[in-house]
Structure formats: structure tokens, C-alpha cells
Amino acid sequence: MLKLLAPLLFLIGAVGVVVISDRPMPPADYTFAQINDFFTLDPPRMSYEQDLRMAYAIYEGLVRWDNETFEIEPALAKRWELSEDRRTYTFHLREEARWSNGDPVTAHDIHYSWQRAILPDTAADYAQLFFLIDGAEDYFNWRGEQLSAYAALPERERTEEAARALRAEADERYRETVGVRVIDAHTLEVRLQRPTPYFLDLCAFGVFYPVHRPTVERWASVSGRSGRIEQRHDWTKPGKIVTNGPYEVTSWRFKRDFRIERNPYYWNPEMVRSDSVAVVFISNGNTAVLAYQTGSVDWVENVVVDYLPEMIAQKERGERDDLHRIVQYGTYFWSFNCTPTLPDGRDNPFHDPRVRRAFAMSMNKNDIVNRVRRVGEPPATVFIPSGSIPGFDESGSIRGVGYDPAGARRLLAEAGWTIDEGSRRLRNSRGESFPVVELLCSTGSYHENVAQAFQIMWEETIGVQSRIVPKETRVFRDDLKRQNYMMARGGWFGDYGDPTTFLLLHTTGDGNNDRGFSDPHFDELVRSAEEAPTPEDRMRLLEEAERYSMEVALPVVPVFHYVRYYLYDPDRFSGISFHPRSVQYLWKLENKP
């Protein structure tokens, strides 16, 4: 099969390889291929895997994970203490830590960076993670009210001078009311709302990493019109960006390539195994494989090709040793738009959870996995991968919604939709057909194949027509954030080792809740869990939240749990972690001598 594909691969990839090789710079110590360019290098605005992978290379947080065991290790903080009530952490930062321009890294940098992450001005997807800090949520809400009051002022009173005074007031309130306190240049105290067993895990997560205040502020201003802090993102470009991690950014050509090199001021140079790393952005999976085969890249971080099943078969027969499988801490799903109305103003049938459950019950996920994907992913009926978190649903009692076409039709009838015997179309009591379901997905991957399978299943089982709407990744992401869709493909990888890394996506107002889903009962379960008297009580409440969201409310329909395949020569390239969390530290990777 692969021999027959070789000429086609060559033609498809020829242009890509020419682009890859067109570099006016020395070869990097190693080069890897990834599908998408980076969306941002600003830590609090990160949410995509490729952005966070780069965060762990160019920035450094208070602590880091051992990416083989996921134990917490010192990083920017050389040590810390936890108070007896388990609410106050005191971090002692390394005096020798430096930014890539030579400036010292201090507790003030963390203090400032966490304020940026909390401010609604930044519109950070993960702002709610910081609400664990005492006073942070109140501060977030206060700032929103402050900006609303400012916007209501007469236009003549809204000036740049007034906006600067507004920001000064916000800065002072942050210092006075939020539990992040600078003791001295190298000592930071953090007071939490309640004991949080996974707080250090969060500190290792890229969105908690510091930024260089003078650099960021050079590209920030306050708007006299809105009072908001407006951030230009030119500061993240090569030649301007200042970072504190093992590497610094030296080149970034949009949708072409990216390069990092050793940060000469990094406090622990012995930790860094390669002097330079190049990333090439190859959206076509065939081109990425060809780039690897021709030696243009050393590692393909995600093998996405139609002939992957044949490559897997070769691996199983012992014919190749460069394809590597990792079972991941993540779930592939499709989101329902849960808002009352569709983007065009029509009533949204997916606002009714019965309709959402019925569509899920009309999906044969075994067929998706075995006939469409064919790469060994386990089908999913729950959001949180089973057995992935110690102490959570260890009995496997949370079942989710399975394949049940007859049950789906009964649910739709309860919701007022029945199949017309003549047309075989789903209609309501007024004779109106169920809207054509638009399936939003990004181009350049397998999502359209999955969507085509859904089309056939829904047509046959519940009489619903659908239309696939593929869009370029950035446009897709914008539509997702604006809820400009009916159903949309999605994927989520756990960011830390606790059920809330998945469940918070369904809470009202969460920055990653792209479905417009809001359910007071679910929110109350999650809130009650955070106030539970014991860790065991907390886990039982979070289990109930997962059960309710996957068996009753269903804001998303899980399809399968991820399996990823890397492509690299193990005799030549080393340092890859096979932990399900799939965090790869670029500074650990190297071509063997």
C-alpha cells in the first residue's frame, strides 16, 4: 500500500519540502513538524496544545512536572512551604533566574502576570483557574462592574486620562484584595480560598507562567473610550519577545516555520540538551510523513494520514520501529450549540437536552472508531477518560449515553419531533422540518470523515439532514467562540490531574465553554465539590457532575478517547515522554551523537 502511495506522496509533498528547506539560517539541532502554527505566545491567552508545548520551552513557572511521573519539581521556585490550614503557599524564587535580556526574574513578575490573567480585559480562556486564589473572582467581577460603570459615563468624561486613573484604581485593588503578595523580590505568598490539592499542578501549567512586564507594557495602552487595557501582541514576535525559559525565540515565519535557541541567561543550562530547535508547520499529513522520510524533520508530533492503519499494521508485523503509539489523557467530541437561538435567530432545537441526547444515541461510535478511524482509539461515552484519575469513578459506574436509535426516536417524540412517514423527515407538530444541522469543523484533518459518518447515521435513524461546514482553523476557532454553529468538532486534553480539568468546561461562563451551556444543577455540583469536607466527598460530587453532564445534560457528545502516533527513529532521536498527559519538553529532546 505504501509503495503504491509513494509517487503520490512525492508530488503532494514536493512543494512542502522545498518550503521546509528554504531557510536562510544554519540547520537546527533537531526539527519537528506540527500541523498548526501557534495561535499565541502570551501564556494567559493559551489554550491549544501546540502553544502550551512552546510555553514549556520558552517560559518557566514556579514549578514544573516531571513529565514521566507527573510529580511536582522545583523550577523558578527553588522551594516552598504550605501553611497548616493548607491555604497559604510561600514560594522562594531562585536569585539566579534571569529573563532572556538579562533582567532578574522576581516575585513582582508573577504578581503582575497573574493579575493580567485574572483581568477580564485579557479575555483569558483559563481565567477561572485563578479564582482559586483568595479574592480573585471578586476582583474579576469588580473590574467588570468598574468597566461597565465607566462605559455608562457621558462620552466627554471618557478620556485617556480617566482610563489611566481607572487602571491605577484596578492595580491598587488587586494589591489590596487578591491573595497574591510580594514579600520581597524573591519571595511570593499565595493565599487560596480553600485547600486545593492540585494547586501546584496548576502552577506547572503554562497559563500560570510569568511574562516580562516592561516588554508587555510597551505594547499595552488604555482605551479612553472603553477604559479597558488594550494589548497589542507585537511583543510576542522575534526580536521583541523576552522570555525566562530554557529557550528564546529567534525566528517565526507565519505558517512556515519557527525557531528557538538557547536562552544564554537561563539559570540551568546543563538541563538543555539541544542548542537549537526548529518547528515547521505542515497542515498536510502526507507532506509531514514525506518530510520525515526525506530527512527534513526528525519528529512528526502527530501522524494524521489516511494510510495510518497500514502503518500500524507494518508496526505490528515488525516491519517498522519508528511509529510510536501513545494513549492520551483526552477526548474527541462534538459540541452542541446549547443557546436558546441559532446564529440566524431561529429557535435552537439543541437547547433541549432531550434532543442532544437523542442525537448522541443515534451515533454508532464503534463504527466511527472501527470503520472510519481504524487506528485503535477506544470509543467514548464519557468525557473524562476512565481510570485516568486516581480515586475518580474507579468502579466505572458512569456509563454515559450509548447507541440506541429506538430510544433516540422516543426522546425526540417527547421533545415534539417525530418522523413523518411519507417524507421520512423529522418534523414538529406544526409540520416544520428539523433544521439542516450544520457541522462546523476545521479543514486539513479527519473531522470531515467523521462528520460524513454522522450524516449517514442521522439520515437513516432519525430522518435528519445535515451539512458539513469546513473552515480554516483560525476562522473555525472564531466561529466556535462566537457560538456561530449548530454542532462543532472539539477535543480536550486534561491540563492537570484532577476531574475539574474536564468538568470546568461545562460550567457557566468558563472561558472554554464554547457551547453557551449553562445548567444551575451542574454548576452547583461543581461548586459543592470545592467545599466538600473530605477529598472522598469531593470526588463523589465530581463523579455525580460527570454522570449528570454525560447522561442527562450532554453539552458535548464524546466520540473517542485520543490515541496519538509519533513518527521518529528511536535509534537517532530521544527524550520523548510516553505519559498519557503528553507533555513534551523540547529541552529534553535531542538527536543522538
pLDDT tens column, 126-155: 999 999 999 999 999 999 999 999 999 999
Q: Are residues 95 and 144 in the same domain?
A: yes
The predicted structure's pLDDT at residue 170: 98
Domain presence at residue 43: no
In the chain, the amino acid numbered 449 is N
Q: Exposed/middle/buried for 116, CB within 10 Å: 0-12, 13-18, 19+?
A: buried
pLDDT tens column, 252-284: 999 999 999 999 999 999 999 999 999 999 999
Whole-number average pLDDT of the chain = 94
Q: What is the mean pLDDT of residues 284-304?
A: 97
Q: Are residues 293 and 394 in the same domain?
A: no
Domain presence at residue 41: no
The predicted structure's pLDDT at residue 261: 98
Q: Are residues 301 and 181 in the same domain?
A: no
The answer to whether the predicted template modeling score (pTM) of the entire model surpasses 0.85 is no
Q: What is the mean pLDDT of residues 302-326?
A: 95
Cα angle 144-148-151, degrees, rounded to a multiple of 5: 140
pLDDT tens column, 524-538: 999 999 889 888 999
The predicted structure's pLDDT at residue 212: 98
Q: Exposed/middle/buried for 226, CB within 10 Å: 0-12, 13-18, 19+?
A: middle
Q: Exposed/middle/buried for 20, CB within 10 Å: 0-12, 13-18, 19+?
A: buried
Percentage of residues of the chain with pLDDT beyond 70:
96
- Give the burial string for 166-202 (b: 16+ CB within 10 Å, else e): bbeebeebbeeebbbebeeebebbbbbbeebebbbbb
301 within 8 A of 32, measured Cβ to Cβ: yes
Q: Are residues 200 and 230 in the same domain?
A: yes
Q: Exposed/middle/buried for 324, CB within 10 Å: 0-12, 13-18, 19+?
A: middle
Strand ranges (E), 41-198: 63-65, 72-74, 77-82, 88-93, 180-184, 187-191
Q: Residue 92: give the domain boundaries.
A: 60-236
Say how far apart CA 384 and CA 373 lie, in whole Å. Answer: 20
Provide Rg for the chain, Cα atoms.
25
Q: Are residues 379 and 523 in the same domain?
A: yes
Q: Are residues 419 and 361 in the same domain?
A: yes
pLDDT tens column, 363-377: 999 999 999 999 999
Q: Are residues 76 and 216 in the same domain?
A: yes
Q: Are residues 363 and 482 in the same domain?
A: yes
Answer yes or no: is pLDDT of 471 > 70. yes
Torsion angles phi and psi, residue 450, rounded to 5: -65, -45
pLDDT tens column, 348-366: 999 999 999 999 999 999 9
Q: Are residues 346 and 374 in the same domain?
A: yes
Domain presence at residue 49: no
Q: Exposed/middle/buried for 421, CB within 10 Å: 0-12, 13-18, 19+?
A: exposed
Q: How many domains does the chain have?
A: 3
